[in-house]
């Protein structure tokens, strides 16, 4: 871990606080109120990564396999995922999202993008330029 100066430590703290507040506000911009944030995240992971076994989803979402089994059951009951036999191992299943789930995700992204764009409309040109430049760096941090 690099050695941080006092001003670097303050910047890290400010970044953490701002990202957490913004994330919380973005999560409140929901299309489907009956889905928990965890359920939405599982659907987003399926959309991003494609079909996966329950074990793979549990690892990607950093939850225990029994918890993922319950989440999948809830999503299946709502018609948002389907279980199919694993192509290589018939003892396992593969989970994939349905068209309804994809529609909810697309609507949710559009709503959140519109909300964020409205907020960004209140920035100065200089602030917006800085934010555009910082977006790839924030994406990289999110992937580490």
Q: Which domains does the chain have, with CATH numbers?
A: 31-143 (1.10.10.10)
- Over residues 18-47, the mean pLDDT reads 90
pLDDT of 32 strictly over 70: yes
Conformational region of residue 79, where left means phi above 0, alpha means psi within -120 to 50, and beta covers everything else: left
Q: What is the tens place of the pLDDT at every residue in 74-132?
A: 999 999 999 998 888 778 899 999 999 999 999 999 999 999 999 999 999 999 999 99
pLDDT of 3 strictly over 80: no
pTM above 0.75, yes or no: yes
Q: Which tokens in the block code for residue 6?
A: 């006092």
Instruction: Write down the pLDDT at residue 2.
Output: 67
Instruction: Write down the pLDDT at residue 137.
Output: 94
β-bridge pairing 93-97 and 81-85: antiparallel
Quote the mean pLDDT of the chain: 91
SS3 category, 64: coil
pLDDT of 60 strictly over 60: yes
Closest CA to 75 of 32, 106, 109, 11: 32
Q: Rounded to whole angstroms, how far apart are CA atoms 12 and 22?
A: 15
């Amino acid at each position: 871990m690099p050695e941080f100066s006092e001003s670097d430590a303050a910047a890290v703290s400010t970044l953490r606080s701002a990202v957490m507040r913004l994330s919380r506000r973005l999560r409140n911009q929901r299309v489907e109120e009956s889905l928990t944030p965890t359920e939405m995240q599982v659907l987003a992971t399926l959309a991003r990564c494609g079909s996966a076994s329950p074990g793979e989803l549990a690892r990607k979402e950093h939850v225990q396999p029994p918890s993922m089994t319950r989440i999948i059951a809830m999503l299946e009951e709502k018609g948002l995922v389907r279980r199919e036999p694993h192509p290589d191992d018939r003892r396992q299943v593969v989970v994939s999202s349905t068209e309804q789930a994809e529609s909810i995700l697309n609507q949710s992204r559009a709503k959140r993008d519109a909300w964020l764009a409205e907020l960004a409309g209140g920035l100065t040109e200089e602030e917006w330029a800085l934010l555009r430049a910082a977006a790839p760096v924030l994406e990289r941090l999110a992937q580490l």
